[in-house]
C-alpha cells in the first residue's frame, strides 16, 4: 500500500502548508500534480493480480468520495481530500474552467477520479452535467461508482427532463443483465436457477429504488413498498 516515508500527520501538514500558494502560483499545474500523486498512489497500492483500469476498488476503501466524517486515515485518503480541495478552490474562482477540470478527471479513467467528478458536479450544482451523468447507463449499472451516483439521483431525479426520468425507471423495470448474471454463476461453478435469479432481480430493483423512492410516482412508490415488505427496509446513508 502507498505510504509516505514519514508519519502521515506530518505529510498532511506539509501539503496543507503549501497548498494555497501552489494554487495561486499555477492552478493548472497544481491540479495536474495532485492528479498524478493520486494516480501513482493507486497504482502502487494495487497488487499484480488486481484488474487494470478503471477498477481501483475505491468503493471499498472510500465508501463515499465526499465522506468527511473521518480524519484522513492514510495516504490515499489525504490525496483524495486534497485533490477535491484544489478543484473546489480553483472552480470557486474560475467557474469557466469546470468542464476542463471534469475532463482531466475523467481522462484518468480510474473510478476514483470519476467519483470526484460526480462530487464536483453536485457541489457546484451543474445541472446539465448531472443530467448527462444520470442518463449514462454504464454509470447507473457500475457498482464501483454507485454510492456517489445515488447522491445525484436522490437530489436531482425530480429535476430531470421527463423522458430522462422515464429512461431511468425503464432501466429499473428491465432489471439486471441476465447474461452477466449467468456468466458470473458459471464462473463460480454454480447452477443457473430461475428462482434464484428472480430473487436477485428483486433485490437489485429494491436497491435501486430505495435510493430515491420518495421522489417517485405513486406506481413506483407502491412497487417499492411491496419490495420493502418482502425484503425489509433498505437503509441508505449518504454524505455530502
pLDDT in tens, 107-153: 999 999 999 999 999 999 999 999 999 999 999 999 999 999 999 99
Cis peptide before 54 (omega within 30 of 0): yes
pLDDT given at position 218: 93
pLDDT given at position 50: 59
Cis peptide before 207 (omega within 30 of 0): no
pLDDT given at position 177: 93
Separation CA 150–CA 154 (nearest Å): 6
| Mean pLDDT calculated for residue range 221-232 | 91
Contact 125, 92 (CB under 8 A): no
User: Which of residues 237 and 79 earns the better pLDDT score?
Assistant: 79
pTM for the predicted model, two decimal places = 0.88
> With the C-alpha atoms ordered 84, 86, 88, 91, is the resulting torsion angle positive or negative?
negative
Mean pLDDT of the chain: 89
- Does pLDDT of 71 surpass 60? no
User: Which of residues 68 and 222 earns the better pLDDT score?
Assistant: 222
Separation CA 216–CA 225 (nearest Å): 12
Contact 85, 34 (CB under 8 A): no
| Mean pLDDT calculated for residue range 68-80 | 75
Contact 152, 130 (CB under 8 A): yes
pLDDT band at 101 (very low <50, low <70, confident <90, very high): very high
- Does pLDDT of 76 surpass 80? yes
Separation CA 88–CA 216 (nearest Å): 32
pLDDT band at 3 (very low <50, low <70, confident <90, very high): low
* Alpha helices, H only, 108-177: 111-123, 127-134, 137-141, 146-156, 162-174
Contact 115, 49 (CB under 8 A): no
User: Which of residues 10 and 38 earns the better pLDDT score?
Assistant: 38
pLDDT given at position 240: 40
Contact 134, 160 (CB under 8 A): yes
Amino acid at each position: 500500500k502507498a505510504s509516505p516515508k514519514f508519519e502521515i500527520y506530518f505529510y498532511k501538514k506539509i501539503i496543507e502548508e503549501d497548498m494555497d500558494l501552489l494554487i495561486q502560483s499555477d492552478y493548472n499545474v497544481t491540479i495536474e500534480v495532485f492528479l498524478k500523486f493520486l494516480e501513482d498512489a493507486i497504482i502502487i497500492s494495487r497488487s499484480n493480480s488486481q484488474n487494470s483500469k478503471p477498477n481501483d476498488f475505491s468503493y471499498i476503501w472510500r465508501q463515499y468520495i465526499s465522506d468527511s466524517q473521518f480524519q484522513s486515515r492514510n495516504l490515499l485518503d489525504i490525496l483524495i481530500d486534497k485533490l477535491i480541495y484544489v478543484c473546489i478552490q480553483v472552480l470557486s474562482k474560475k467557474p469557466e474552467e469546470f468542464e476542463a477540470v471534469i475532463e482531466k478527471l475523467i481522462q484518468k479513467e480510474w473510478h476514483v477520479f470519476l467519483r470526484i467528478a460526480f462530487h464536483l458536479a453536485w457541489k457546484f450544482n451543474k445541472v446539465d452535467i448531472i443530467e448527462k451523468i444520470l442518463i449514462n447507463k454504464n454509470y447507473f449499472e457500475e457498482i464501483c461508482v454507485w454510492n456517489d451516483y445515488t447522491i445525484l439521483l436522490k437530489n436531482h431525479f425530480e429535476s430531470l427532463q421527463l423522458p430522462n426520468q422515464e429512461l431511468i425507471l425503464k432501466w429499473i423495470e428491465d432489471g439486471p443483465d441476465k447474461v452477466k448474471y449467468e456468466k458470473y454463476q458459471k464462473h463460480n461453478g454454480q447452477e443457473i436457477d430461475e428462482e434464484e435469479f428472480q430473487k436477485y432481480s428483486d433485490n437489485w430493483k429494491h436497491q435501486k429504488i430505495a435510493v430515491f423512492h420518495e421522489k417517485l410516482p405513486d406506481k413506483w412508490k407502491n412497487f417499492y413498498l411491496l419490495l420493502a415488505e418482502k425484503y425489509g427496509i433498505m437503509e441508505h446513508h449518504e454524505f455530502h
